Chain A
């Protein structure tokens, strides 16, 4: 024993004397207690040490835990090099490994003090039997660092890299316990065999996956609610700006339809988790990024400002058990996005680059010049109009124009897409960082449209000491979009390109825009002009971030404070300049519009969590918290129209804002708070022995949207799960590795109504004029209520019930997750159209009616084949639900109509799915006048002998009153799919991986509005190829009506004729990748390099006749179709 010894505790040096006393007392204690008192704290230790000194290993443990080691240098001075690999191991196990085969022993003194001292072996038995062996997994791979322990002793060894071990045991009936994280622990009786070949069965690794739940995390094992997750690999597979689009088909029960294929996803994605819960409120899930619940911007573009490459994982919380913690915003489910963070250890640098080409996967076929001339003349003659002289002779047209102008070919193009993401991450045990930068540019497949995004991220975590941790997430983004109208029925450039006649040229010989000539009798704007001249700019800046601090007040009791902000600034400008000729617009004056809007959102959050294990088997996790969030929205805009500023005026030239007449300018502004929430959250999880799980969550939300009596609301949920495979009767069923049954019940809410509807607000936007001035002077403002009010309005209450199971079968090769659910929205907020007698016309929200969804989510995943380095992994998801209105309360009917189609509408009525298509039923084509005379009058208020002719559509007289009118409309289908599904197959062989992702939707209907223009004779525009099969005489067709201009019979009214089955199956993504072998990688000094070739939307199988069957909202107004994209990329990890 040395005279001077150094004891370590935070660099304090103790005196020799004290030391001596301590050592003696320690020794005595050990004698008395041995190691039986094992009330160790449950701090877990992870070590990955190769040949390091004993003391440095102890230092590593001290860094991770609150344990502090006491030892004298002489005790541990041996130069023995230690190797130890443990993952989340308890202290006991680590110490056993460390001190194995040494003369040292250890003892926990106070809570954290660990004393290591020499041990005098009083009665330790002589090792009698030498046992050796190997440990493999089920794939035959040798396992390193498996702990082999003789039960009842401190006798422990670990396997080496080749999976072998050797241990001396007491007697030959000693029992050995073989354990390693990720595998099921096994026991063996040594017996006669002293050379053991042990095969460990993998524990279901999925169970150890950490799932991000509201205000915390849990391992999958202990989840008693319905949560689905996807990880970075699936997210980055799709070449999209909006991460929502990457979720499509990946998660059972989540239906995603793109509102538009416009570049950058600026059309927004329609995300529905388990169908809709609200008729007039939002049906968008709450999106939480790194703990920050983003304000609902109608889900439009909420996510396309973030870099997809930054995302680590997405957890989708689906049932009330999971979402109640988000209370009044939880009814539509919650999408929890977690971004990547730095990890302790070596630094990483990752670069990912891809480039690709996109084109439209299908364009409708339109008539060529000759066919158009024939069809147009036929339609005009049929309606009693003189033919357009130019079009009378189809032969002359063909001679002059050939096939004519291919307008679709002119507006669609092959377009580039590219993406670069770089991130650097790393850090020490005490501080971790991640920086990332991304650039994404997508040219639209429609000429002149594009999207460009820059994003930066910094996420950091700092551990100040064993009790205090700080961190932040910060994302700075900017995008620039140049768009065009592809979303309004009236002005969509796609509609214009569909209908522009092939006999109109895009440009005149002098280069000016053509069209609008009287000889064409077609005066809609030239689509090329519409794409080239108006300059539409949409720029968005967004900073989203938070700073947190976590303080461990007592063992297991942590206080976390988070402050966050999400600021977005959007600038929209649109400059439309008069040009010498504007094809179809004989006099266009210049106009300029600009709008700046600001959308700041603030969050403050305080949570207290407590973790405690009682008597080893009872684990408690409790959370209480308070959060406050405020959203504001304001904008200011100004415009100048009807003026003559010249072509070359730059956007900021003051001349634009110097009008010559007040009538040329207008401005608008909105300024105010759009919502505040003050909430209390709480949750209690109780885990019993890794077998039973109970969760209880409670949230009390205060929202300023409701009147004084209804500001606060409380939501609760209970969930429970039982791992049946932990029970004796299932424990030894070999084919069943894991079976957990789950159930949850709870309430969530929806608060999405306009603010202050409990007051009767004054609308100050009325105008009237007084005074004698002509022209535009004398306009005065008026103020009056335009809506009524409901002092009792409150949140929408959604009651949800979920039962399900998670199973793992056949040696962990098949995973099944099944959920069945019922969701009932009671106190449904329905915007009730007031009786006009009330003197108001805006709808008033009332809590009335009930909406119900019943559904099933199923996920199957597993390894189908794994041999000889060839693996085939498949992953599939399926979701189906039935939506039904079970009560409408005081709002007897809701209708939504399209102004452009006579009698067309959507409707919501009792007992049917919400928002079904409401229209007429067709029963073929009138073949002759006798047929017409024997049927109901087709157009109310008209003389059937004038308005209806053979070749017109025959509408069914549903009420049998002899007249086809509003009352003959009925349910003609709805946009809800019967089921949606996704299937990913991943094949890998050595360094090559092929992944094929198929996604589809079955049974959803689309109202194809484009056909209103292209089959109808609503103008002198062009027709689709479908009219080639038109009725031209008795018996020629019973489905495509005759051509007649102005549609006297109303053939174009909304009817089942335009409602199409838009089921589809789509090879959404195919990806072939190759990772260079590790020896090349090390030669190149990189960790990993991967090349890939990929295709998005490679193949689509559908009967839908429009551009694309994925139509968000269910009505196809000629939306921007999705592109088929081929791209190639490389990922390098340095």
Chain B
């Protein structure tokens, strides 16, 4: 008995000593913890691919939560519908040109673009150091990162003008003092990234990777960037490069315009680059895997789409007037694109008929481009998560970019391809440059209606007052020169005194 006690105490003493001795190691973190840090991640091929996947995710949020408010509702194409009152105040601010630096849509765009930029920067910095990686995957990953970085900066520079430009793994302290770089520097970075991306990216992907950036997408985006900068020569050259190699990239126009917006045709032949969505029955969120446009654009509270339908994005009469028609009513529109783009009164889907008037939509108009009926539960099973992808660039844009940049002589046949598909006659020959520009602008407006391009087209017009004139004519009398650039989010300026505000805000 006594002996045992002695042994027990001997044991206790020893454990005391042992525990005390290894205390340093007890506090260093355990290598078995599945904790990954920026320092130890990006170490193999699988991690490179997963990191690149995360660089795409901001696209889901941008196109769910910001791009259509800015690209379409702020333009003359559509207005905020919905329930009125306090419903969608942040969108109303954009629609009515009294936007402030507190606007959450502006903030979302800013934030998501920078999330993408940090992620692509890390890939571009870290992936070259991975020893054990297939060269094709390495190039592809770097190419995707550069393409996406260019895309995010392109969104930022068009919306805000001068913005903080960085290509490093920025720390929170650095991010608190960074200043805005001139637009020209930002564009230079975009062009450099895209030029690099077009050499690194593959032309096509296997079936499981469709939706990733391709060489064609990089070239197409580069053409659009040149066009935005007014560099017609390079825009035409780059667009032509894509057109000439369309077989390599598998590009072509669908016979039917509506085929572009079918679940079964996602990433199809006309798709240059699009945001990928999947139905997950998820929650109401800008950040989920699903697309919420179907619910937000669906006729208000008619239950023809999942989750009732909000009718927030209501086409303007001015937009409807762009469609070529034979009579006074919308029934007489001959442009085939209308059927997939806009709900007009009398449109039928199953047992549903669009009424002549809806809450928030006095003329019974709604956007139909992303419409998946409530009955199609594979495409949308509720919870504001629709599976339908949203195009960022279609092949028809390449055609119209080339047509615009190359001028009437060289470009007419390409513009006509788009018009013919819509069931319209070819453009008249011998248009002046100004007439040509107007014709292409009108064509782009109906071809890409509610594809979130219009506002940026208004801004890049050679006449710097174009957007002011157009919007004033559309009844938006608040519009002013300052609206060329949106305000820098106030929250960002609070945290970083070096961030100046755009004039007028």
Contact = CB atoms under 8 A, between A and B. Distances in A.
A180 B272 CA distance: 98
Contacts of A25: none
Contact of A839 (B5, B114, B279): B114
B387 A774 contact: yes
A785 B281 contact: no
A756 B279 contact: no
B280 A756 contact: no
A780 B492 CA distance: 31
Contacts of B83: 1046
B60 to A, nearest CB: 7
B492 A835 contact: yes
A593 to B, nearest CB: 14
Given A678-B27, A776-B278, A606 B16 contact: yes
Interface stretch (A669-677, A985-993, A1102-1110): A669-677
Given A775-B278, A834-B172, A838-B171, A766 B53 contact: yes
Interface in B56-100: 56-57, 59-60, 83-87, 89, 92-93, 96, 98, 100
A704 B14 CA distance: 24
B164 A776 contact: no
Given A776-B280, A782-B57, A770 B16 contact: no
Nearest to B492: A835
A756 B35 contact: yes
A767 B84 contact: no
Q: How large is the interface on B (under 10, 10 to 19, 20 to 34, 35 or more residues)?
A: 35 or more
A836 B29 CA distance: 29
Interface string A953-976: 000000000000110000000000
B50 A840 contact: no
A939 B89 contact: yes
A836 B175 CA distance: 8
B54 interface: yes
B463 interface: no
Contacts of A892: 494-495
B266 interface: yes
Contacts of B8: 549
A761 B111 CA distance: 19
A902 interface: yes
A837 B57 contact: no
A654 interface: no
Contact of B57 (A606, A766, A785): A766
Contact of A778 (B12, B56, B208): B208
B168 to A, nearest CB: 11
B494 A893 contact: yes
Given A769-B276, A770-B211, A941-B93, A785 B38 contact: yes
B89 A941 contact: yes
A762 interface: yes
Given A784-B118, A1047-B86, A772 B210 contact: yes
A768 B56 contact: yes
Contacts of B29: 704, 755-756
B229 interface: no
B399 interface: no
B12 A628 contact: no
Given A779-B278, A835-B172, A838-B170, A703 B27 contact: yes
Interface stretch (B18-26, B242-250, B413-421, B428-436): B18-26
Contact of B92 (A774, A839, A942, A1050): A942
B163 to A, nearest CB: 9
A168 interface: no
A790 interface: yes
A199 B220 CA distance: 106
B86 A777 contact: no
A838 B114 contact: yes
A844 B281 CA distance: 32
Interface string A770-800: 1110111111111111001110000000000
A783 B19 contact: no
Contacts of A559: 12
Contacts of A784: 51, 54-55, 115, 118-119, 122
Contact of B495 (A626, A702, A833): A833
A776 B172 CA distance: 36
Which of A642, A783, A833, A834 is packed against the most chain B CB atoms within 10 Å? A783
A333 B387 CA distance: 53
A941 B5 contact: no
Contact of A626 (B16, B47, B119): B16
Contact of A834 (B23, B116, B175): B175
Nearest to A946: B84
Among A551, A671, A788, the most chain B Cβ lie within 10 Å of the Cβ of: A788
Contacts of A776: 278-281, 289, 387
A811 B461 CA distance: 95
A626 B86 CA distance: 60
Contacts of A760: 37-39
A782 B23 contact: no
B164 A837 contact: yes
A782 B56 contact: yes
A563 to B, nearest CB: 9
B281 A642 contact: yes
Given A785-B122, A833-B495, A941-B89, A704 B175 contact: no
Contacts of B122: 784-785
Contacts of B93: 940-941
Nearest to B177: A835
A628 B96 contact: no
A308 to B, nearest CB: 34
A768 B280 CA distance: 12
B503 interface: no
Contacts of A783: 36, 41, 47, 50-51, 53-54
B114 A711 contact: no
A775 B9 contact: no
16 contacts: A551-B9, A663-B280, A756-B35, A764-B36, A766-B54, A770-B211, A774-B379, A778-B208, A788-B175, A839-B114, A840-B172, A841-B115, A902-B86, A939-B86, A940-B98, A941-B89
